[in-house]
């Protein structure tokens, strides 16, 4: 049965076009399209074939169920796990999923090597270098540990990688510092790994903003979906948003001056007002923290969210819309209407988050239409 109160739409054409643009931008480097967390809420099963058709040599995942989706689709693409694996995950991957794993500790490297020796086939791994992200990986000066990893018999080192902590910020100074640290690690490793090992540092923001001359692979997530993780830089105009979210007006009420609205009475009308109730709330993925902060589009006008966002109801002030607003009228939560646009980035900035949080909630909590 179809939902009538919310419409989440994913443009497969925009997704394909975005990847094709990035593919052309980074050649001859290979492209890893990051599709973890159900393709950031956009639908892994629905979009993975498009990613491969558009030119992805790798798909980035985090979990074994995500890898299983790709394998069951029968796609000719390599899989890269974008975090450290747990023992049970690694064993399952070795047995049936053929995921290229990250190695950031001697313990994990030895575990994979022993498994590779037992099965008589080396396991492909990427050495993770911590250049400043601070979450995982070897430091570049752990020379003996890195040499030890390179000498293990049951693994095949196919990549050396790092992850940038602030390549989407105004100041790229720390990113350039990370690049310098990564180059030091490459110098340590150059005599112990194959000359054709894939080096990769660039995420979406770095791919858009910084030359990629020294890398053989880029890992791009946000840009493939037409969004960015910060408003401190601009994506090229060729990158189009992939997801839009719409609802409809459930009720319009005349509310006198001085009345409070919503749980906690967090908004008081300062004038006689027209208030529209929308049949969505944080139960549909519209963030609760957008109370008195959010913006929606109705009849091409920007209308503020007023009062607390409830589980399934959000209220907005439509007093300043010159034309009548009626029961059932379209409301854009994210997307375009007339000459106005609301982006995931704009909403995320209003509650100090990132687009991914809203993408995920909208995609996970609702039916999604693919066009």
Q: Which of 110, 192, 263, 350 is catalytic?
A: 263
Strands 340-342 and 251-255: unpaired
Q: Could you tell me if residue 304 is left (phi over 0), alpha (psi between -120 and 50 degrees) or otherwise beta? A: beta
Contacts of 275 (CB under 8 A, 6+ apart): 252, 253, 255, 261, 269, 306, 315, 316, 317, 318
Residue 240 class from Cβ within 10 Å (0-12 exposed, 13-18 middle, 19+ buried)? middle
Q: What's the rounded Cα separation, in Å, for the pair 336 and 334?
A: 7
Q: What's the rounded Cα separation, in Å, for the pair 371 and 227?
A: 18
58 is catalytic: no
Assess contact for 77 and 70: CB atoms under 8 A: yes
Q: Which of 16, 36, 78, 246 is catalytic?
A: 36
Q: What's the rounded Cα separation, in Å, for the pair 317 and 312?
A: 17
263 is catalytic: yes
Residue 268: count other Cβ atoms within 10 Å of its Cβ.
Answer: 12
Assess contact for 279 and 313: CB atoms under 8 A: yes
DSSP SS3 for 156: strand
Q: Which residues are tagged catalytic?
A: 36, 263
């Amino acid at each position: 049965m179809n939902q009538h109160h919310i419409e989440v739409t994913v443009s497969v054409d925009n997704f394909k076009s975005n990847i094709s643009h990035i593919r052309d931008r980074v050649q001859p480097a290979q492209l890893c399209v990051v599709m973890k967390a159900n393709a950031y809420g956009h639908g892994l099963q629905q979009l993975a074939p498009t990613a491969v058709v558009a030119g992805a040599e790798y798909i980035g995942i985090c979990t074994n169920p995500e890898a299983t989706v790709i394998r069951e689709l029968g796609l000719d693409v390599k899989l890269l796990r974008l975090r450290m694996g747990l023992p049970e995950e690694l064993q399952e991957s070795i047995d049936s999923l053929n995921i290229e794993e990250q190695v950031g500790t001697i313990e994990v490297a030895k575990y994979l090597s022993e498994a590779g020796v037992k099965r008589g086939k080396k396991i492909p791994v990427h050495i993770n270098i911590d250049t400043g992200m601070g979450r995982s990986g070897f430091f570049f000066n752990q020379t003996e540990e890195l040499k030890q990893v390179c000498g293990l018999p049951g693994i095949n080192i196919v990549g050396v990688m790092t992850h940038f902590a602030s390549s989407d910020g105004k100041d790229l100074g720390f990113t350039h510092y990370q690049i310098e640290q990564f180059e030091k690690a490459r110098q340590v490793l150059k005599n112990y790994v194959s000359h054709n090992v894939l080096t990769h540092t660039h995420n979406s923001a770095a791919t858009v903003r910084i030359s990629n001359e020294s890398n053989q692979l880029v890992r791009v997530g946000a840009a493939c979906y037409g969004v960015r993780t910060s408003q401190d830089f601009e994506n090229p105009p060729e990158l189009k948003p992939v997801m839009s979210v719409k609802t409809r007006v459930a009720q319009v009420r005349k509310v006198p001056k001085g009345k409070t609205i919503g749980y906690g009475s967090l908004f008081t009308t300062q004038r006689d007002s027209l208030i529209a109730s929308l049949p969505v709330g944080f139960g549909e993925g519209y963030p609760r923290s957008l109370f008195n902060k959010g913006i929606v589009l109705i009849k091409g006008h920007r209308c503020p969210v007023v009062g607390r966002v409830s589980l399934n109801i959000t209220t907005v002030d439509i007093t300043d819309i010159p034309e009548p607003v009626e029961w059932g009228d379209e409301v854009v939560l994210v997307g375009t209407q007339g000459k106005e646009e609301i982006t995931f980035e704009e909403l995320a900035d209003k509650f100090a988050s990132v687009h991914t949080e809203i993408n995920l909630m909208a995609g996970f909590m609702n039916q999604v239409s693919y066009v």
